[in-house]
Amino acid sequence: MDSQIQTIHQQLVDKEITCTALVQSKLDALKQNTNNTVNALLGEKALELAAKVDAKIANGESIGLLEGIPFGIKDVYMVQGTITTASSNLLKNYKSAYTATAIQKLLDAGAIPLVKENCDSFGHGSSSENTIFGAVKNANNPDLVGGGSSGGSAVNVAKDYTVFSIGGDTGGSIRQPAGYNNVYGLKPTYGRISRYGLMAYASSTDCVGPIAKSLEDIRIVLNAMSGKDVKDQTTYASAEIDKDAISTSEDIKTIGYFKNFIESEAIDAEVKADFLATIEKIKAKGIEVKALDFFESNTLVSTYYTLAMAETASNLSRLDGTNYGSRIEAENLKETYSVTRSENFSEETKRRIVGGNQVLSQGFSDEIYLKSLGLRDQISENFEKDFNEVDIILSPVTPSTPPKIGDSLKDPLAMYLSDAYTVGFSLGQLPTLTVPQGTSTGLQITAAKNNDELVLKFANFLKDTI
Ligand code: GLN
């Protein structure tokens, strides 16, 4: 698909449409949608901004590429003046005091935020059912989950309710819902985009990224949000990715895939067959394909969940009803903390806080937490070795197709295992992109750290190859 941003930009400049009419039509669609993608509409402000864009065009002034383009924001980003709930009871009325850096950059470029989008509470989940706003329904089949945790964002893009949306990815939360709804979703290299103003889930893997219908729109939005930020010391300066630079893939000679991902018993037969057929098509184009060894899915999933739970237990400890969150008064302060947190956190979030505090506690931390940190180092070393041999690693996004609404809530362990193919790349802090091709839930393209450009290049090549 062509760039929607470019197309809309041209229509605005040529006065074929007005920004007000465009924004109004998207707001109407969002309001009427039955997929539960909306936590809050930002209608009034959006229409005000649209009127300004229209006035500029009417005055003959030029507008930037992102100016007037309507987009969605996962409800875990601070946007000053809006309520940021993280789809939780605890923050149901929490008003953001400031705006996240990534979102501010889009606002500065003139993009128009329409909606705070439904997601798993605090990013905890793989289905967008762990939310007080009702389960997000899949864009292709409303009986199936929208994927998670950025489910509302992926469904909004798939349904054209937003032109692009900003998700958050800690262990797969952009890539997996993008795959489940057949759109593009990028988790950039950790640190390429500032996390300032993104509610912290697991700080060492949290990433900001775009979801869109075209690769070109992913590129445009990535460029707009990237860059060093003094408010997030893990950020680094990066060069813009040029459109022409990703249009040729001549320098990609060798790719790899993980044997055990494909030979696993958990993989759906069709996903496997489709993936292997894709590999053949790539080989036919003269690219060498290597089958690589990697850690077992169980090791990846348990390492990720141990660390993610430890980090979220620590990050969420500030939500005690004093500075943040709806407070429930009890007999004394300790009881107040306890009741506030017990009543207002979801089952899934409490499971993670309890698990996280357990692995961090005296007597357990060496055995569990430190061991996981060691495994994470080994995983990163494995990636370093692989990227000496191959330019790109290709994998399915998920072992199977989206589950029915209700199933993941009954079996959290099965839900954790559905993240088998995404979490390893998060632990490695690598750039990785879901493309809506190859298998029914897409393909995941990964490159070495800071090589986001190569990921987009290979995606461009795949577009024409399969
Ligand atoms: N499904 C994974 C989890 O629940 C990833 C979530 C995310 O990336 N926010 O931790």
Query: Residue 310 pLDDT more than 90?
Result: yes
pLDDT in tens, 3-23: 999 999 999 999 999 999 999
CA dist., res. 119 & res. 88, Å (int): 10
Backbone φ and ψ for 223, nearest 5 degrees, come out as -60, -40
> If pLDDT is split at 50, 70 and 90, which confidence band does 464 have?
confident
Cβ of residue 175 lying under 6 Å from some atom of ligand 1:
no
Whether 74 is catalytic is yes
SS3 percent helix, strand, coil of the chain, rounded to 5, is: 45, 15, 40
Query: What angle in degrees, to the nearest 10, is found between the helix axes of 101-108 and 215-225?
Result: 110
Cβ of residue 419 lying under 6 Å from some atom of ligand 1:
yes
Span from the CA of 174 to the centroid of ligand 1 (angstroms): 9
Mean pLDDT for the stretch of residues 216-243: 98
| Amino acid identity, position 359 | V
Cβ of residue 149 lying under 6 Å from some atom of ligand 1:
yes
Question: Nearest residue CA, atom 9 of ligand 1?
Answer: 123
22 and 70 Cβ atoms separated by less than 8 Å: yes
> If pLDDT is split at 50, 70 and 90, which confidence band does 251 have?
confident
Span from the CA of 368 to the centroid of ligand 1 (angstroms): 20
Which has the closest alpha carbon to 402: 138, 158, 153, 199?
138
Whether 214 is catalytic is no
pLDDT recorded at residue 326: 93
Q: Which domains does the chain have, with CATH numbers?
A: 4-245 (3.90.1300.10)
pLDDT recorded at residue 47: 98
Span from the CA of 420 to the centroid of ligand 1 (angstroms): 11
Cβ of residue 124 lying under 6 Å from some atom of ligand 1:
yes
Query: Residue 133 pLDDT more than 90?
Result: yes
Which ligand 1 atom is at minimum distance from the Cα of 426?
Answer: 8
CA dist., res. 457 & res. 441, Å (int): 20
Backbone φ and ψ for 18, nearest 5 degrees, come out as -105, 155
Mutate to test the pocket of ligand 1, among 75, 118, 124 (most ligand atoms within 8 A of CB): 124
Whether 159 is catalytic is no
Query: Residue 466 pLDDT more than 90?
Result: no
Q: Would you state the structure tokens that stand for residue 324, as one six-digit string?
A: 């943040």
94 and 322 Cβ atoms separated by less than 8 Å: no
> If pLDDT is split at 50, 70 and 90, which confidence band does 450 have?
very high
Which ligand 1 atom is at minimum distance from the Cα of 123?
Answer: 9
Which ligand 1 atom is at minimum distance from the Cα of 205?
Answer: 8
Q: How confident is the prediction for the chain on average, in pLDDT?
A: 97
287 and 457 Cβ atoms separated by less than 8 Å: no
Span from the CA of 460 to the centroid of ligand 1 (angstroms): 27
pLDDT recorded at residue 81: 93
41 and 30 Cβ atoms separated by less than 8 Å: yes
The catalytic residue among 3, 121, 126, 149 is 149
DSSP E strand boundaries for 134-225:
164-169, 184-187, 207-212
Helix (H) or strand (E) holding 307: helix 297-315
The catalytic residue among 87, 96, 153, 173 is 173
311 and 292 Cβ atoms separated by less than 8 Å: no
